[in-house]
A and B are shown apart, each in its own frame.
Chain A
Amino acid sequence: MTAQELTYLFVGLTFVLYIGIAIASRSSSTGEFYVAGGHVNPIANGAATAADWMSAASFLSMAGIIAFEGADGARYLMGWTGGYVLLALLFAPYLRKFGKYTVPDFVGDRYYSQTARMVAVVCVIFISFTYVAGQMRGVGIVFSRFLEVDINTGVIIGMAIVFFYSVLGGMKGITYTQVAQYCVLIFAYLVPAIYISIIMTGNPLPMLGLGSTIAGDSSIFLLDKLDGLTDELGMRIFTESNKSMIDMFFITAALMAGTAGLPHVIVRFFTVPRVRDARISAAYALVFIALLYTTAPAVAAFARINIIENIDSVSYSELPQWFKRWEEAGLLAWLDKNGDGDVQYRGGAALSPSKPIYSDERGVNGERELVNEATSGPNELYIDRDIIVLAHPEIAKLPDWVVALVAAGGLAAALSTAAGLLLVISTAISHDLLKKTLMPKISERQELLYARFAAAVAVLVAGLFGINPPGFVAEVVAFAFGLAAATFFPVIFLGIFYKKMNKEAAISAMLTGLIFTSSYIVYFKFIDPSANTSANWWFGISPEGIGTLGMIFSFFVALLVSRFTSPPPLEIQDLVDDIRVPVNSFEKVNET
């Protein structure tokens, strides 16, 4: 079978599996639709959380970012795992004890305010749509590269699958589908990594292979070799940091607090039976996530070495087949600056503007001709970071079935995250907006119907975003984390740990975080992108990391306002007491 036939086979089989699971675990009540009835086993919930969390960005892009940024890429590794420590220690057990369906539920009840609930609903919907658009796009990309269907057809197939199991299955269907998707995605990520690790270092575990000596010469460590190669070619040295320390610090903190505050992750901890299950479930989730996250830097280093060795100083006519395929896809470009017919891969950008713009002509060596200007540097090669995970199995000359597996894994990562996000959006609409605010008299059956309807509409909107991506999708991902950090993190944290935290403080804190963070990002990303340089940033903090500063302001405002306004009513203080202990303490505390 060809690689393409194998890809069809693997992707087809996994889709049949997801649909089968969805049919077997349909939801029949709002409790099942929102939180899977609260009966999910903690290990299963851990795997579902991991799939929910690891998106197309983790699976397809992260190793690529690390491959080209080296040590600076660690902000994603630490940020997207360290957030689970905050989630497990500060949020998960208490929100499980609170026992309602959504994050706006918590905000609305704890702060006894419909206004607070509405601000939370708006944040949830904005954050989730931002995120889901990127997932649908990821689905389209995998389809178009590997199955050679049109990118829009890819998005529509993806929509159909997600539509099926989220509208029908709700949280219950999604949970068990996500468990299966986790297995598919981790298998697809680890198999090529293990393969390549054995070839390059002889060590089957990529996390250890990264720190081993290279195969065939036990006197040279792999990372030293890579540092040497990057240094020699005038690139940034792989294991050394280049970003300013303060920016790394703030970005990592924003990613951590944002992770802990992301509604689609938090809501997963409402699905386990007990508080102690929520605690241990967070631990399992991080084990499952860490498997991929500790492998990613190894994949990155292996790929960088392979690319340099396979391409640099090789004549274009002798380049491997994969190079030409990705050049056709528009993700690689070569500009023969010195006219020697060889590819010179060096540090610095090759093209100006940096993304390739192809003419329809061919150059003298048969390469796609570019209309970009040459930069003054010696580098002749443009590589899109996103191809690392997808192209690496081919680069390392692995068998076709491994290449096919990666496509199925990328789809599993994108679909599982999209489904989790769509569920959060539909719940925010049917439960928080309709049931709790606009139409409190609807029956449970009607609410469930609205939930399904909202999920269907959300799938369609997400699909439209995937087909016509607003140009700003990549830019707004910084938004999702920054906003989650600056709005939800402070009010949830203080809601649990600070009994005197009241309604006025919560609303002003959320608005402070929301307005400050979004103004900063909108200014540098949309209003004046040319000013987006470290010289103009406040304290040298990039828009990616500004959520941390927004969070600090938000905390400050919350503490200030709560000092000058009246404390929350007694029953709210009792509610806080109650969520702090695993067992029901309510009446007994009041008696004493």
Chain B
Amino acid sequence: MKKEVMESYWRSNVRLVLVLLFVWFSVSFLAGIVFLDFLNQFRFFGYKLGFWFSTQGSIYTFVALIFFYAWCMNKIDEGHGVEEE
């Protein structure tokens, strides 16, 4: 494998991880903690929105993030010819 290929592979990987971690941080630390009281003035079905994020929404988002990551990484692997058999 060429050094340039590996470097570009690693850059795509890190970029993806950064984007996903930004979402991870937003739904838990921001929506579920820092802006909890602010979001609680809005309703989401029978929930206050902030409470929903901290007890339900953040967890659903985490699940989706990991599936999305696994899917994207497989694409990135293939794009750089480093996928496993």
A residues in contact (CB < 8 Å) with B: 66, 71, 74, 77-78, 81-82, 84-86, 88-90, 93, 207, 210-213, 221-224, 239-241, 245, 248-249, 252-253, 256, 274-276, 279-280, 282-283, 286-287, 290, 293-294, 297, 497, 577, 580-583, 585, 588-589, 592
Contact = CB atoms under 8 A, between A and B. Distances in A.
B24 A85 contact: yes
Contacts of A582: 77, 82-84
Interface string B53-69: 01110111011011101
A89 B10 contact: no
Nearest to A282: B66
A78 B59 contact: yes
If over half of B's interface residues share one DSSP class (helix, strand or loop), that class is named, otherwise mixed; here it is helix
A85 B1 contact: no
Contact of B74 (A276, A297, A577, A585): A276
Interface string B17-36: 10011001000110011101
A88 B66 contact: yes
Nearest to B21: A89
Interface of B: 1-3, 6, 9-10, 13-14, 17, 20-21, 24, 28-29, 32-34, 36-37, 40, 44-48, 51-52, 54-56, 58-60, 62-63, 65-67, 69-70, 73-74, 77, 82-84
A583 B82 contact: yes
Contacts of A283: 63, 66-67, 69-70
B62 A85 contact: yes
A589 B6 contact: yes
A93 B13 CA distance: 12
Contacts of A211: 44-47, 52, 56
A220 to B, nearest CB: 9
Contacts of B47: 210-211, 223, 239
B65 to A, nearest CB: 6
A238 to B, nearest CB: 9
Contacts of A224: 46
Contacts of A81: 58-59, 62
Contact of A213 (B17, B21, B46, B77): B46
Contacts, number: 154
A82 B62 CA distance: 6
Contacts of B44: 211
10 contacts: A71-B51, A71-B55, A82-B62, A93-B73, A256-B28, A276-B83, A286-B63, A580-B9, A583-B82, A588-B1
Given A207-B56, A581-B1, 16 more contacts: A78-B59, A82-B24, A86-B24, A223-B51, A240-B37, A240-B40, A241-B37, A252-B28, A253-B29, A279-B73, A279-B74, A283-B70, A290-B59, A580-B10, A582-B77, A589-B1
A497 B36 CA distance: 32
B62 A276 contact: no
B46 A221 contact: yes
Given A240-B40, A241-B36, A294-B60, A581 B84 contact: no
Contacts of A90: 17
Contacts of B46: 210-213, 221-224
B15 to A, nearest CB: 12
B62 A74 contact: no
Nearest to A66: B55
Contacts of B66: 84-85, 88-89, 279, 282-283, 286
Given A212-B46, A279-B70, A71 B54 contact: yes
B11 to A, nearest CB: 11
Contacts of A287: 63
B79 to A, nearest CB: 13
Nearest to B44: A211
Nearest to B68: A283
A239 B62 contact: no
Contacts of A210: 46-47, 55-56
B38 to A, nearest CB: 11
A286 B13 CA distance: 21
A290 B63 contact: yes
Contacts of A293: 59
A227 to B, nearest CB: 9
Contacts of A580: 6, 9-10, 13
Contacts of B84: 274-276, 582-583
Nearest to B77: A582
Contacts of B40: 239-240
Nearest to B13: A580
Most chain-A CB neighbours within 10 Å: which of B24, B45, B59, B63? B59
Contacts of B74: 276, 279
Nearest to B69: A89
Given A213-B46, A241-B36, A77 B29 contact: no
A74 B77 contact: no
B32 to A, nearest CB: 6
B33 A276 contact: no
Contacts of A223: 46-48, 51
A283 B70 CA distance: 8
B57 to A, nearest CB: 10
A294 B59 contact: yes
Nearest to A89: B17
Contact of B73 (A221, A222, A241, A276): A276
A519 B38 CA distance: 36
B3 A592 contact: yes
A345 to B, nearest CB: 23
A290 B3 contact: no
Nearest to B58: A78
B17 A249 contact: no
Nearest to A88: B66
